[in-house]
Amino acid sequence: MQNILVLHGPNLNLLGKREPGVYGVVTLDEINQMLEREAQELQVKSAALQSNHEGVLVDFIHAAQDQHQGILINAGAYTHTSVAIRDAIAAVNLPTVEVHLSNIYRREAFRHHSYIAEVAIGQISGFGAESYRLGLHALVDYLKQS
């Protein structure tokens, strides 16, 4: 059975409370529960982890190499700043889909660049919590075709 690692970056633990006009009212727990249900329907396993610390996210990515077949990641603000997370994804060479709740291209200019995009198989943004579900489906479809 395919095993997908779901990674949530900084401040995503505050979903539902943090800027609901931008990020919505769905909590991280609700997103994880939805992804677990979707994974079961897709006949894959998923494991969700969150950290506010860049090095911890890098460690999670490194550990994924031996346990998971793909990564679904919302790196939060690290999307726009972290060469370390980008390099970790490239190093483990696991198919990765980048997701964002908001449309990063309709926001501040500094959010328009993603270090992760060039090492991801795709990116989905702007659909709120649905971005995660769409990303999971895209990743599972990709893995089935590989």
Question: Does 59 show up as a binding residue in the annotation?
Answer: no
Question: Does 112 show up as a binding residue in the annotation?
Answer: no
Question: Does 51 show up as a binding residue in the annotation?
Answer: no
Question: Does 87 show up as a binding residue in the annotation?
Answer: yes
Question: Does 12 show up as a binding residue in the annotation?
Answer: no
What tokens appear for 121 in the block? 């198989």
Point out which residues pair with 45 in neighbouring strands. Answer: 3
Sign of CA dihedral 49, 131, 55, 95: positive
Question: Does 72 show up as a binding residue in the annotation?
Answer: no
Active site members = 23, 100
Concatenating the DSSP letter of every residue in 11-57 gives: TGGGTTTS-HHHH-S--HHHHHHHHHHHHHHTT-EEEEEE-S-HHHH
Q: Binding site: what residues are annotated?
A: 74, 80, 87, 101-102, 111
Residues annotated as binding site for substrate?
Answer: 74, 80, 87, 101-102, 111
